[in-house]
Structure 1
Amino acid sequence: MNRPDVKPERPWFSAGPTAKRPGWSSQALPHDLLGRGIRAPEVVARFAHGLALTRQVLEVPEDWVLVYTPGSDTGAVEAVLWSMLGQRPVQVLAFENFGQQWAIDVRDHLKLEPEVLSAPWGELPDLSRVDPDRDLVFPWNGTTSGVKMPNADFIAADREGLAICDATSAAFAMAMPWARLDVVTFSFQKALGGEAGIGVVAMSPRAVARLDSYEPPRAVPKVLRLRNGKGFDRALASGSMINTFSVWTLEDWIDGLEWARAIGGLDALIVRTEANAAALGTWVERTDWIDFLAADPASRSTTSVCLKIVDVRVTALDEAGRQAFVKRMKALLEAEGAAFDVESHRNAPAGLRIWCGCTVETADVVAATPWLDWAFACAVAELSR
């Protein structure tokens, strides 16, 4: 196959950290607070401003609170698990890598006995088994499987347990059903292309009440503590930090939020994301060697689009062979500067993963697809040598 003529202007398709917003420049970020103490009033005010912008763009209900955590979304989820779980029985939806990880942490580290509802890669568990009397931990969008929740109907409006949602590859790209959720976590490094290292926890009044009334029977590491001696540490909701965070990372986050607000807010971000996913989907539908990992169109992710190679010359290989094939495609693409970081997650089945979030341009998705065909053809030709 001939090498394509046109390359994406911004060939960054990583699922995290994701592409910066169009037009991003480090020189546009304010520098005046770099080197200041993390507890300086001006710095705290800036972090509080970041929370306020986050609430506005994400359309978080006014009676919810938001806090920062260390460790990106992983830290945010762990802070919630360690600080809230144990009062009620727990269910975990484990249909991709991170849901599986939360199930392991709840069982092996918190020493609880969760009911784990699992499913093969590309599918959702039986959501009819979700128990409204139990706390529920689940990803809204499976970053590593390309499977998302089609809706929130499986979460009871009159539930007794808390619905704890890992939304790191859904927030700012999909509408969140706030009335059916109690905790929503995400990180800077996903949908808005922020730098890594800081997570956000958004909590409903029910979640805050859990922190106020329930003291977990375990030692909680300092960097995961959402409680003080009296219950929820309300200083965290005012811009105060658990530990020292990067001011540069915060300014980069604010830059992304201001861009999001300027282009039309959450609705515009969703439109951009869905246009990218549709452009990639058009290519998948006309290409015989590739298919979606998610079997059901209603549950296909529009951000972390995961694809499987269905050509018999590749499927006949063992898993190690398929992984090597994908690595060869990746090397070919990156050597040309045509597409970076398009391989599947290291714990997922061998395949491709193309980030289609709002900071990616649709024209770049379209321009990347002939290169994917080219890399596949080259890698297949090498198999027969």
Structure 2
Amino acid sequence: MLQYVGRSHRSRDGAKRLTEVVTRMSKLLGLPSGWICGIVNGSGTGACSMALQNFLGPRPVDTFISDSFAQYWANEIENLELAPQTRHLCAFGDFPDTNGIDPCHDIVLVLNGTSSGVCPANFDWISLNRTGLVIADAVSAAFTREIDFERIDVLCWSWQKALGGEGGHGMIALSPRAQARLEAGERKPVARLMKLHLPDGSVNAAFFEGRTISTPSMFAVEDILSALDWADACGGLPALLKRVADNYAAVAEWVSNTPWIEWVCKNSSVRSMCSITLRLTREQLPAGTRDDGEIISRMIRLLEDENAAFDIWSYGNAPPGFRIWAGPTIETDDLAALCQWLTWAYHATVGNNIASEAMTDRQTDLAQR
């Protein structure tokens, strides 16, 4: 039986390992000089809630409702009455208009929407001379896309999404501008688990040096350090971004050659490269088909029965379709095989069955796992 003999983060060894996580994560992500970083409970969700509750209030805030999680943050701002809010809306599968944003306002946005497959095309619309802060949910954007740190002030992400670490822990990083807001801000009530200040009102400097607010699992700490070892061995951030680009290219080629499937996000300039969201092309559905959701459901059940794919349903409140993670921990060959499996499942579902012997060697291998 495996026995863990490590100590908690209160011990010298535990504190050293937590500090190592902060240092190595900051380096891999490329945080600029002057930024500070800390470990948060509750994964990326906890980090985003911490950011909203600690920083919002002094100024109006603009939120960009590009996916389900952006909607969650807008609702939290409203429900907790954190700041006067303007919501910028758009159709599902697109990103809101970013013209005419007041640089005096705070901004809250999601850098990669996993439910819609949408992300901001760039950050050029965010003023370098702004007086407001930009709070970014980067849960699935960290290590999957380039981030312009000159136009972001508070960055939130998780251990598990792009690096494959254990769930339950996240990170929050602050620019010098965000640190200045924290130091000068009014001491409004914040839950203890979310508070970035000490009882005397001063900034909790120890938190940004690796000391967590609540004790994390040291198993999880060792797991994320192993994930960081893997990322470094791959070649660091440039290599992780290339893996994402290769994954996207493999799926994009299949979509372009498959008339019955299409992107949920038709605007390629705001399409996520790692959160693949697809739907059936209505014009290609069999005559008399009224519910594409039923076809999708049958296809996914077929793939699950064959042990070929799991958890590729579209997000709960998204239109029926497929949601496929194509982050850096995913192998391009596996995504290419999944595309073949989807083709098989589609034809089997709509009546043009493909005999099992027509499967490729790769499909057969996957089915036997």
- When normalised by structure 2's length, the TM-score is 0.90
Instruction: Give a deviation string over 1:149-185, Cα, whole Å, max 9, x none.
Output: 1111010000000011111111111111011110111
**Cα contact 1:82–1:216 (8 A) shared by 2:** no
1:52 Cα offset (Å): 0.6
1:224 pairs, out of 184, 194, 201, with 194
Q: Distance in 2 between matches of 1:61 and 1:79?
A: 21
Q: Does residue 235 of the first structure (1) align with residue 206 of the second (2)?
A: yes
Q: Residue 128 of structure 1: SS of its match in structure 2? A: coil
1:205 alignment counterpart? 176
Amino acid at match of 2:163: L
Residues 72, 197 of structure 1: 8 Å contact kept: yes
TM-superposed deviation, 1:236: 0.5
Aligned ranges 1:234-273 → 2 under 5 Å: 234-273=205-244
Q: Which of the two has higher C-alpha Rg?
A: 2
Q: Is 1:361 matched with 2:369?
A: no
1:259: how far off?
1.0
Percent identity for Structure 1 against Structure 2: 37
Q: Deviations over 1:67-120 (max 9, x none)?
A: 111111110000000111001111111111000110000011235321001111
Aligned to 2:260: 289
In the other structure, the counterpart of 1:376 is 346
The answer to whether the aligner puts 1:170 opposite 2:141 as a matched pair is: yes
Q: Distance in 2 between matches of 1:374 and 1:37?
A: 50
How many residue pairs match? The answer is 349
Query: Counterpart of 1:141 in structure 2: which amino acid?
Result: N
Amino acid at match of 2:112: N
Superposition deviation, residue 215 in structure 1: 2.4
Pair 1:337 & 2:307 matched: yes
Question: Equivalent of 1:352, from 322, 345, 348?
Answer: 322
The one-letter code matched in structure 2 to 1:43 is G
Mark the CA change 1:327 to 1:250 in structure 2 (over 3 Å): closer, same or farther. farther
From 107, 118, 139, give the equivalent of 1:147: 118
Aligned partner letter, 2:345: A
Shift of 1:252: 1.0
* Distance across 2 between alignment mates of 1:42 and 1:56: 21
Q: Whose RCO is larger (CA < 8 A, sep 6+)?
A: 1
3-state SS of the aligned residue for 1:232?
Answer: coil
Inter-partner Cα distance in structure 1 for 2:151 and 2:40: 23
Q: Secondary structure at the match of 1:115?
A: strand
Residue 275 in 1 paired to residue 238 in 2?
no
Match of 1:109 among 74, 80, 83: 80
Check conservation: 1:60, 1:178, Cα contact below 8 A. Answer: yes
Secondary structure at the aligned position of 1:186 is classed as: strand
Which amino acid in the other structure matches residue 306 of structure 1? Answer: T
Normalised to the residue count of structure 1, the TM-score between the two structures is: 0.87
Structure 1 stretches of 4+ with a deviation exceeding 4 A read 314-318
Q: Is the 8 A contact 2:264 2:278 kept in 1?
A: yes
Residues 329/129 of structure 1: CA separation in 2 closer, same or farther (3 Å cut): farther
Q: Note closer, same or farther for the CA distance 1:317–1:277 as it changes in structure 2 (3 Å cut).
A: same
Q: Give the Å deviation of 1:309.
A: 1.2
Deviates more, 1:245-254 or 1:72-81: 245-254
CA–CA distance in 2 between the matches of 1:381 and 1:225? 57
1:38 Cα deviation after fit:
3.0
> In structure 1, which of residues 57, 61, 80 is the aligned counterpart of residue 32 of structure 2?
61
**Paired AA for residue 59 in structure 2:** R
* Cα distance in 1, alignment partners of residues 115 and 203 from structure 2: 32
- In the alignment, the residues of structure 2 paired with residue 375 and residue 239 of structure 1 have an alpha-carbon distance, to the nearest angstrom, of 48
CA drift at 1:315: 11
Asked whether the 8 Å contact 1:333–1:371 carries over to 2, the reply is yes
Distance (Å, rounded) in 2 between the aligned partners of 1:234 and 1:322: 53
How far did 1:372 drift? 0.7
Instruction: Quickly say closer, same or farther: Cα 1:314–1:267, change in 2 above 3 A.
Output: farther
Cα distance between partner residues in 1 of 2:248 and 2:4: 36
Residue 127 of structure 2 corresponds to which residue in structure 1? Answer: 156
Mapped to 2, the partners of 1:287 and 1:372 lie a distance apart of 10
Q: Give secondary structure in 2 for the equivalent of 1:306.
A: strand
- Secondary structure (helix, strand or coil) at the match of 1:116 reads strand
Structure 1, unaligned runs of 5 or more: 1-26
Gaps of 5+ in 2: 353-369
Q: Which amino acid aligns with 1:338?
A: A
Match of 1:136 among 75, 88, 107: 107
The answer to whether the aligner puts 1:189 opposite 2:123 as a matched pair is no
- Is the Cα–Cα contact under 8 Å of residues 314 and 322 in structure 1 kept in the other structure? no
1:321-370 Cα distance to aligned partner (Å, 9 max, x none): 44443332221111111111111111211111111111111111111111
